Chain A
Amino acid sequence: MKLRRPDIVPGLLSLIGLLLLWKAVSLYFLPSFLPSPALLLERVATIFGQSSTYLVMAKTMERVLAGLVLSMLIGAAIGLAMGLRRSVGSFLDSWIMVLLTFPAISWAFISILWFGLSDIAPIFTIVLIVFPYVTMNVWEGTKAMDKELTDMATVFRANRFLLLRKVLIPQLMPYLFSSLRISFALSWKIALVSEAFGASRGVGKELMYWFQGIRADMMLAWGVSFMILMVLIDAIVLRRWEKQVFSWRRAPVA
């Protein structure tokens, strides 16, 4: 605690400075073009005050979760297969690179053309953009696996399933968790873009609605509101889970 105190001061100063600058600039514009910090806060409060907000956010969350889970499963399975079989690795390597390089925004539009206004379009978009990252990350993880442990398991005659479950996958956990957190951050941003153009309801749709009404204040307010929710999920759910999974790593008690 003693060490942390001096760190807070510069951070606090920069925050206050930013708010003051923002307030000053906002004086020169219409509130609907650039709201002041206080007005934005008010708008955010209004958004959280409406019960319909929660239905909208729940709809978006549903798509984010579906996309995220599918991306993790597909990405991890392919990454693992590529790592365990060299031939699979060289076979799929260039395809994954193509997917990683392909402009993400194109998928958002293409999937709307393919699937129309439905839940499938945003989920499909998320999966196509996110799973290649997971694959690359997990593939990287398989390269760092300890051959000595695999030998140990072989000597004790562990079958493939046991080897995978107790020896290989646990070694991939750090990579899976970093993939999960990056994927989560990516997924919800992609979901908003996709929803803006191809959904009948969702946070992205709200952004589009206020965009058409030329209301930057409401767009910012919706963006901030959803961001708050996502940051909370990351901090409360994902980080805690990670800490619990890696409890075995905690420094040895002397």
Chain B
Amino acid sequence: MSSEAVVIEKLTKMFPNPGGAGEFAVIESLNLQIRRGTFASIVGPSGCGKSTLLNIIAGIETHDAGTLRIIPQEGAASTARIGYVFQSPRLLNWLTVEDNIKFALEAQNIEKALWNQRVKKYLDMVGLGGQERNYPLKLSGGMQQRVAISRALAIEPDILLMDEPFSHLDEITARKMRVDLMHILEHAQPTILFVTHSLREAVFLSEDVYMMSVKPARIFKQVRVDIPRPRHPEDSRLFDLEKDLVKEFFAVLELSQQ
């Protein structure tokens, strides 16, 4: 079994120049390897191309050069399963919570006999057992995002992409969701690529933190967070690490602005 879940080599993505001729590279020659079963975060300022990178991995955007491989777990179907948790829940509001999850299972051609068991397992995991028959609009924003998380987990993805999934929530809810996510990961061990602009969030959640520069987007530093789980949000080691990384970030940003 390969120890890598995602391997990206020299990936380049061009965008047309705003209001002018020609193109510029949003992402240039980006390399990234994500170890299977780990939680990796990409941290970068807004507009650096983080979401674009996730969309390329998810297959809803194309890239212009380089290679991208998602390696399915051994014995799994030959095409890799990709789970995605977006900034907003993106639920189908006309379907019940249960049917929203089944939508993903059906899309992934997962055997029908497994559906009910998967729904129950992953709804329980996000703390929404009993909400199967409810409609999304009757749930709070945080609960809707939990449904989106359980939808993504239910397909048991080879890679779970998360694009600032807590950024639309109020800070108190977001904080609880981060802690809960950490607990969820004790039960399921998917490979996660998490994108955020918050170093604190990245450091708290991840095993690997990749720091990304702007225009073009490149990984300029990789940090292994060796603090064992479950972690406490107020752990001073997390704060210290965050402080060091912030300093480094500013140094790089200033350099790129000169």
Instruction: Say yes or no: A252 contacts B138, CB within 8 Å.
Output: yes
Instruction: Say yes or no: A148 contacts B107, CB within 8 Å.
Output: no
Number of B residues near A (Cβ < 8 Å) is 26
Task: Name the distance in Å between A139's Cβ and chain B's nearest Cβ.
Answer: 21
With A152-B84, A152-B90: A162-B107 Cβ-Cβ less than 8 Å? yes
A25–B136 alpha-carbon span in the complex (Å): 58
Does B93 make an interface contact (CB < 8 A)?
Answer: yes
A118-166 CB contacts (< 8 Å) to partner B = 148-149, 151-159, 162, 166
Instruction: Say yes or no: B94 contacts A156, CB within 8 Å.
Output: no
Instruction: Say yes or no: B94 contacts A170, CB within 8 Å.
Output: yes
In terms of DSSP, what is the predominant structure of the interface of chain A? helix
Number of A-B contacts (CB under 8 A): 62
A159–B104 alpha-carbon span in the complex (Å): 11
B90 contacts across to A, CB distance below 8 A:
148-149, 151-152
Most central of A151, A155, A158 by chain B CB within 10 Å: A155
Task: Name the distance in Å between B70's Cβ and chain A's nearest Cβ.
Answer: 12
Instruction: Say yes or no: A248 contacts B94, CB within 8 Å.
Output: yes
B92-140 CB contacts (< 8 Å) to partner A = 92-95, 103-104, 106-108, 135-139
Number of A residues near B (Cβ < 8 Å) is 22
Closest to A249 in B: B137
With A156-B107, A162-B103: A252-B139 Cβ-Cβ less than 8 Å? yes
For this complex, 28 residue pairs linking A to B, each with C-beta atoms less than 8 Å apart, are A149-B90, A151-B60, A152-B90, A153-B103, A154-B60, A155-B58, A155-B59, A155-B60, A156-B84, A156-B104, A156-B107, A156-B155, A157-B79, A157-B82, A157-B107, A158-B107, A162-B103, A166-B92, A166-B103, A170-B92, A170-B95, A173-B94, A247-B135, A248-B95, A250-B137, A252-B137, A252-B138, A253-B138
Given contacts A149-B90, A154-B59, A167-B92, 7 further A-B contacts (CB under 8 A): A151-B55, A153-B103, A156-B104, A156-B107, A157-B107, A166-B95, A250-B138
Interface residues of B (CB under 8 A from A): 55, 58-60, 79, 82-84, 86, 88, 90, 92-95, 103-104, 106-108, 135-139, 155
Interface residues of A (CB under 8 A from B): 148-149, 151-159, 162, 166-167, 170, 173, 247-250, 252-253
Please provide the 5 A-B residue pairs with the shortest distance between their CB atoms, ordered closest to farther: A158-B107, A248-B135, A156-B107, A152-B90, A170-B94
